[in-house]
Amino acid sequence: MFGPGSQFHGFFNDPRWALAMIRATVLEAAHPQIGAALIHNSTFVAHPWRRLRNTFVSMRRMFGGDEQVRQREALRLNRLHARLRGTDTDGRPYDAMDPGARAWVVATMFESAVTMCRLSGQPLEPEAMERLYVEFRAFLAAMGDDAGHLPGSPEEFWPYYDRMVAEELESTEAMRIILYKLFDHLPAPPVLDGFPALWATGRAVAGPVIGAITVASLPEPFRRRAGLPEIAGVQTLMQGVYLAVGLTRFLPDGWIKSDSIAELLSLSPDSDDPRARTITALREQMNRAGALIRLITPLPPEPEPAAAADGGEVRRSAREFFADVLDQTGDGYLTWPDLAAMAREMSSRLDLDEPEETRLYDAYAGWWRELQAALDADGDGRVSAAEYAAAVPSMAGPALIRVAEVLFEVTDKDGNQHIDADEYRALFRTAFHRDTPDADGTYSRSAFVSDFLTFMSGRRRTTPYDPLLAQA
């Protein structure tokens, strides 16, 4: 049911799967509990590319052929979901471990895969649909849930799906953000961050198209109830896009691999990956061409970025640092979910098990209590950008130092009090910087803690921590 040879494995590198997953995500976000968990805890607005890559890595582990990897990933996901609970803006509780909500996530993936095939002119045969449904129910069981939360067969699934659409789904804030804000304001992936004009042009064309065809593909009863607009001609456009994307499946094997594409998009320009170096070289050539054009045209010169007072690294203002680093969820405030998102990202990169993962979360929880006590001037349980900018010249208090120490300890897998090249790459996804290693070619505890505190309090841009916490 998992790994090569499974029905799902054939979809994983299918370009149509990207369209299906966008559609499934919208249907998930329309569930009140899932929508509330997303809007209060997820980084999908401020860091969509990071979220995309983590999702691909998780799905690859869950649907791969290694049973031990799958069990370990299921435990990790359950620990993550167990931390996502609270109350929505209407006072209704939400819990990411709710069995019905978790079953709905799996249901949307199955239904969107079936719809993907139908819209691209290749509907699944009954036997293939049955096999795919068995695999998705097995996936739910692998997560530790009772597979009985989904009906036992595809024939029983469709009445369940229709009932959920008619009775449970709502026009949630998370769903509206995905449809009407995310694609129109999607930041450039890290590897294309140096091409703002090119990215803005492509986004202006592709964003509205993706949003429109996603809306057109949703169940008609839900579109009517949610007040989603009907645009003339979009149904034809939608089918044309699915057909066109489906044709890329006939390209030679290896040309399109979803995990490779996700990794490429998330590469930092400072990465030592050969693909990042190629794009960096292209960016430099384009910058030279732009400089030549500016020399022969009467356009005003572009302002140079402000440098630090010591002539060293470029700094952010306090408000920029707040938006780029601290506000991980993108809601304009610093709250516990923002710091939990940092702990979650680092735990995922380092692939932590218990108890190291809990130690890191606990360290961040202590930092949140310290920040809240020092910066929450109006006592509303959150820190605004104005409160942060007005009250904190430095953030290097005892709790933040503890975060740095715990992060060092969980990165230092062999416990030798130095981070070696492999451990460094696990956290930062790149090789040592020239100014990082100590005399013995490693990264000492004191140097690591000092650099982390310098980044978090000095707001310097050019450190390895910037791709870790600030990039989209």
What amino acid occupies position 218?
L
Q: 282 pLDDT band (50/70/90 cuts)? A: low
289-316 pLDDT tens trace: 655 555 665 545 544 444 444 444 556 7
Q: At a CB cut-off of 8 Å and minimum separation 6, what does 108 contact?
A: 23, 24, 25, 27, 28
Instruction: Please choose, from the candidates 251, 248, 184, the residue with its C-alpha nearest in 3D space to the C-alpha of residue 214.
Output: 184
Q: What is the dihedral of CA 159, 161, 167, 168, to 10 degrees?
A: 150
- Mean pLDDT value of segment 172-176: 94
Classify residue 178 by its DSSP letter. Answer: I
CATH 1.10.238.10 range(s) for the chain read 318-469
Instruction: Please choose, from the candidates 21, 175, 33, 30, the residue with its C-alpha nearest in 3D space to the C-alpha of residue 102.
Output: 33
pLDDT of residue 381: 92
pLDDT of residue 307: 47
Q: 175 pLDDT band (50/70/90 cuts)? A: very high
pLDDT above 90 for 15? no
Token pair of 373 as six digits: 């006590």
Let me know: does 385 contact 322? Beta carbons within 8 Å: yes
235 C-beta neighbours (distance < 10 Å), count: 14
Q: 464 pLDDT band (50/70/90 cuts)? A: confident
81-126 pLDDT tens trace: 999 999 998 999 999 999 999 999 999 999 999 999 999 888 999 9
Query: How much of the chain, in percent, has pLDDT values that exceed 70?
Result: 83
What amino acid occupies position 187?
P
Q: 439 pLDDT band (50/70/90 cuts)? A: confident
pLDDT of residue 249: 67
145-167 pLDDT tens trace: 998 899 999 999 999 999 999 99
Mean pLDDT of the chain, nearest integer: 85
Percent of residues in the chain assigned helix, strand, coil, to nearest 5? 65, 5, 35
201-243 pLDDT tens trace: 888 888 888 889 999 999 999 999 999 987 888 888 888 888 8
pLDDT of residue 244: 85
pLDDT of residue 311: 42
pLDDT of residue 364: 97
- The whole-angstrom separation of Cα 115 and Cα 217 is 8
What amino acid occupies position 303?
P
pLDDT of residue 392: 65
Let me know: does 35 contact 170? Beta carbons within 8 Å: yes
Let me know: does 328 contact 472? Beta carbons within 8 Å: no
Question: Which residues are paired to 300 by β-bridges?
Answer: none
411-434 pLDDT tens trace: 999 999 999 999 999 999 888 877
| Of the listed ranges 136-140, 207-211, 215-219, 335-339, the one predicted with least confidence | 207-211
| Of the listed ranges 25-39, 49-63, 232-246, 310-324, the one predicted with least confidence | 310-324
- The whole-angstrom separation of Cα 369 and Cα 423 is 30
pLDDT above 80 for 129? yes
Helix 99-119 × helix 234-247 angle, to 10°: 80
CATH class, domain 318-469, is mainly alpha
Which pairing describes strands 93-95 and 333-334: parallel, antiparallel, or unpaired? unpaired
pLDDT above 60 for 38? yes
Let me know: does 181 contact 44? Beta carbons within 8 Å: no
pLDDT of residue 255: 61
pLDDT of residue 280: 65
pLDDT of residue 215: 92
Q: Enter the pTM of the model.
A: 0.85
340-386 pLDDT tens trace: 999 999 999 999 999 999 999 999 999 999 999 988 988 999 999 98
Instruction: Provide the phi-psi class of 201: left if phi over 0, else alpha when psi is between -120 and 50, else beta.
Output: alpha
pLDDT of residue 274: 66
177-200 pLDDT tens trace: 999 888 888 888 776 776 777 788
Q: What is the CA radius of gyration of the chain?
A: 23
* CA end-to-end span of the chain: 34
**DSSP-derived 3-state class of residue 175:** helix
